[in-house]
Structure 1
Amino acid sequence: MIHLRREVALFAIGGVLGLCVDAGIAQALVGLAGWNVYTARVVSFLSAATVTWWWNRTHTFAHRDSGRGRHAEWLHWMGLMALGAVVNNGVYVLAFRAFPGLHAWPAVAVAAGSAAGSIANFALARAVLFRAPKSSS
């Protein structure tokens, strides 16, 4: 139970880091570069997912093993996070439909989507990718 609480807390920290990367990039690409909110989100999401993979492999699940090399682990992480991204991006799109004024502030929609997808992402990361304890050899 102690490990689970620690993992949840560290996953949340990684999520906040990812949210900052995601929202910051989306906001910059839309506000400063004039990108479309949906195109900007592709870049911001991929960047944030990479940051959260690094954080979670280094901190949250440091005592667990994926059984994969770094590149394969990153690809598996991205695949799993794509499932969470369905929820995340669904809320992102719904936020724009419900509140058209958010097009000027995509960071708000990013935050809503991130919150919705975080539970699925934690469960997938812990149960599927980082499910085995690290061996001491």
Structure 2
Amino acid sequence: MIGSQFVRFAVAGVVGFVVDAALLYLALACGFGFFEGRIVSFMGAVWVTWRLNRRHTFRERPERSVWVEWWR
């Protein structure tokens, strides 16, 4: 159980890294500066990893409101 949870957590992290890099390259190609692009890519990566971890890695936790959990 713990080992498979770690693997799911690691996979979510890798997916988040790929999303981060892809969004940064896309933002730069669209004319954003580096720091503005990093804000976009960071927020996208945080959202993707949070959703993956919430749905697949830590799914045995009781369901809370998505908005309450996001702002915590």
TM range (shorter): 0.7 to 0.9
Question: Hey, what does 2:66 align to over in structure 1?
Answer: 70
Runs of 4+ in structure 1 displaced over 4 angstroms?
Answer: none
1:41 aligned to 2:38? yes
Contact kept? 2:19, 2:44, Cα under 8 Å = yes
Unaligned runs of at least 5 residues, structure 1: 77-137
Question: Hey, what does 1:27 align to over in structure 2?
Answer: 25
Question: TM-score when scaled to structure 2?
Answer: 0.86
Please give the alpha-carbon distance, in whole angstroms, between the structure 2 residues aligned to 1:9 and 1:53: 15
Q: Give % identity.
A: 36
Question: Hey, what does 1:7 align to over in structure 2?
Answer: 5
Q: Provide the aligned length of Structure 1 versus Structure 2.
A: 72
Asked which structure has the greater CA Rg, the reply is: 1
1 or 2 for the larger relative contact order (CA 8 Å, sep ≥6)? 2
Amino acid at match of 1:48: A
Question: Hey, what does 1:113 align to over in structure 2?
Answer: none
Cα RMSD of the aligned pairs, angstroms, is 1.4
SS in 2 for 1:64: coil
